[in-house]
Structure 1
Amino acid sequence: MSTKYKFGDNDKLYFITYAIVYWIDLFIRKEYKDIIIESWKYCQAQKGLEIYGWVIMPSHIHMIIASNKNKLTDIVRDMKSYTSTQLKTAIKDNPYESRKEWMIWMMKRAGMKNTNNHQWQLWQQHNHPLEILDNEMFYQKLYYIHQNPVKEGFVEHAEDYYYSSARDFHNRKGLVDLCYIQ
């Protein structure tokens, strides 16, 4: 069995990416991004999730994480399961979601293709966790995370993107409490 993309030791930091099925640009609405943020805060308080860097892009999320309590595999699994349920409800209940039928159709289509699901599938199955081996790799991944919104043309400066930890690294309070490496 491959260990290339698996969480190992909780004492290590991991760079992960998780994406919406078919790379649907779901996170263009504040209320959907806020569901993610609230889930992270809960996981920090209750499950020992440590967040070192993050960004929410329209179709995917990048994070650098660790845990001081529960297994990262379990935290990420529970977080994706919870947010999937919450986001599905938010999509269905949002009277302003003009792409509602299309998104539901795409997520049902993804669910039918996956033997682990019987209905919808919101998240792609994999996270591709990569262990952060040293400070150089940490800062390379953090830079990559923070430059995503700049590269996509959403902002000129990384710290101006509201749904990113770049703000915290430029003396601006971000949305999530961060851990820092020594």
Structure 2
Amino acid sequence: MRSIKHFDNTGTARFVTFSCHYNYNLFKTKIVKDIFIKQLIVSHKKHNFKFYGYVIMPNHVHLVLLPLDGLKLSNIIRELKSLSAREIISYWKTLNLQIFDRLKVIRGGQEMFAFWQRKYYDHNCRTKETTIEKINYCHNNPVVKGLVTKPEDWEWSSYRWYHGLENILIEMDPLE
């Protein structure tokens, strides 16, 4: 398996993408998206990073953030993926869903369930313009994929915060 190079501690905003196991559409229901949103809020409160943008798509997530004070991006992403996966899988277990057969993996000799792919991708946003471009990419992704006709119609992105609309799910940090 090819290794993905990550550059921690660059002092620049980062555009991050991570995907669901086998690119399955695991974010089909509002409750699963809401669980991820909750864990994202917890992570933002716990860790020292600026949070500039996001979108939750059916099979992947994009984030735009800036780790501060030497905080490693990998630590943020690892914890966010772990906590959200645990809570979502725990919720699904109460429903006894058949999806579990497709999510079984063997890691470290133990059978478990994988919600996320193990890797993530990140891009250094070296300028404010690039950061804005990636935030806009997040907002337009649901339109490009045919999920909605206008960015404001997709509830699970930072678009509403940037445009002063109602039903904001997460407060963003102002882009400096």
TM-score (structure 1 length as normaliser): 0.85
Deviations 1:40-77 (A, max 9, x none): 11111122242101000111101101223542211111
Residues 9, 67 of structure 2: 8 Å contact kept: no
Deviations 1:150-171 (A, max 9, x none): 1122222112211100111211
Percentage identity across paired residues of the two chains: 26
In 2, distance between residues paired with 1:107 and 1:6?
27
Aligned to 1:170: 163
How many angstroms does 1:94 deviate by? 2.8
Q: Name the CA shift for 1:117/1:49 in 2 (closer, same or farther; >3 Å).
A: farther
Aligned to 1:89: 90
In 2, distance between residues paired with 1:116 and 1:7?
31
Structure 2: runs of 5+ lacking an equivalent: none
Aligned to 1:135: 128
Aligned to 1:36: 36
> Which stretches of structure 1, 4 residues or longer, exceed 4 Å deviation after superposition?
114-117
Q: Name the CA shift for 1:170/1:84 in 2 (closer, same or farther; >3 Å).
A: same
- Give 1:107's aligned amino acid: L
TM-score (structure 2 length as normaliser): 0.88
Aligned to 1:104: 100
Q: Name the CA shift for 1:19/1:6 in 2 (closer, same or farther; >3 Å).
A: same
In 1, distance between residues paired with 2:109 and 2:11?
30
1:180 partnered with 2:160: no
1:80 partnered with 2:81: yes
- Give 1:142's aligned amino acid: I
How many angstroms does 1:9 deviate by? 1.1
Structure 1: runs of 5+ lacking an equivalent: none
Residues 149, 155 of structure 1: 8 Å contact kept: yes
Q: Name the CA shift for 1:93/1:49 in 2 (closer, same or farther; >3 Å).
A: farther
In 1, distance between residues paired with 2:102 and 2:30?
21
